[in-house]
Chain A
């Protein structure tokens, strides 16, 4: 297998032509579809695909960045724990996400000990090598939550616990589909999350909302092909789940990973930053794992943080509307001015998977002219 097979410019041009044809056959504009994955937006931006999309097609990034949708109270819990002197380990993108009264980075600057890890396994190693308490501040969708579940089931040292901000993707698609004013006519589902859940997990959603779903990979051809399939279904009035990422996604998903996931976590409702309360959208540790649940092990006092009002700038932030697909970064007065990667106001500017961060880095919809994508230049 070579990844280059999925970046073949000849095939990309043909798929782009097919996409333009199908969108024109729909006969009205704009046709809006949503993807729910930061990696899709990164690939679209890196390869300059958006400039080659037909003018009648809006490809909107939904709430697909787990860091961005981590709500302030969850950040506040991490900040409060760190300020209480508990040593945290977390993924790098979590560091600068704004909480009510500052971020983990602010807490770190004030002396809190926070270790950045690439994998939860490293956080467990850290606990093995140290006698003090280590709390893993866990964020990410089901793809990442299964790794947290795996280390817990494999056995962790007694000084290791988890503060879970894990989220589960399928329920938020329901929220977006039911959002008043939504223009979304179909979804690209994230291939990595579907590697775990399987493509069948989307069938009830499709039946309920009569909206097509295509499971898509992350190479340029994966995305272009998925958009062709999705717009075909919109054109033909078909609402089905189609798996265009069969090299990684099966109908039933990764059974072993799912068994571990549901052995350790249970879905509960919770707020996603800027979006809404999402029923079953958060993953909390089951009661039998209370001994590794940081919320059970520590008294986390967030009241002192929450008494402070959000800044004026934060109140102008429209990250929620951007993640709901109602607005784009260009609609935000802060974007690129008061809110930049070095000094983010909203969560979407923090994470490398956030819409604003990606648009700031790559320019949103570059006017590339004739070439359909950067790698064809």
Chain B
């Protein structure tokens, strides 16, 4: 249940947001978001709750820190190995309905 999943906010209402996780859309709760979330934000989701709005400037900060550790060139990753796992996890969560048994809840 420790897998935090980043996604793109596509719709927001008072208590929830519709978030796109690599093409899979899920409604998540905003109770734990520590600052206002708007459409277009990236957010970190955990067990159906937004736990962090990810400012794009902070992504750049992280990358710069890595460049400080090693003077790096640019390039692209050829494969998105983790995306499949993450999608599996989200889908295992079902469309907001609890499962009776069988399939893993995917929360862990």
Q: Which residues of A contact B (CB under 8 A)?
A: 1, 3-11, 14-15, 17-18, 37-39, 42-43, 46-47, 64-67, 89-95, 108, 114-123, 125-126, 139-141, 143-144, 146-147, 150-151, 153-154, 190-193, 195-196, 217-219, 221-222, 225, 228-229, 244-248, 254-257, 260, 351-353, 374-375
Contact = CB atoms under 8 A, between A and B. Distances in A.
Contact of A229 (B2, B58, B69, B99): B69
A105 B79 CA distance: 36
Given A7-B80, A153-B31, A256-B33, 20 more contacts: A1-B54, A3-B83, A10-B73, A67-B1, A91-B108, A92-B104, A116-B102, A118-B98, A118-B106, A140-B2, A141-B2, A147-B49, A150-B31, A150-B32, A191-B4, A228-B69, A248-B44, A256-B32, A375-B77, A375-B78
B75 A146 contact: no
B52 A254 contact: yes
A195 B93 contact: no
Interface of B: 1-4, 6, 29, 31-34, 42, 44, 46-49, 51-52, 54-56, 58-59, 61-63, 65-66, 69-83, 85, 92-94, 96-108
A60 B72 CA distance: 27
A186 to B, nearest CB: 15
B108 A116 contact: no
Nearest to A122: B98
Nearest to A140: B1
A214 B78 CA distance: 28
A212 to B, nearest CB: 15
Given A43-B82, A46-B82, A119-B47, A248 B101 contact: no
B77 A143 contact: no
A4 B46 contact: no
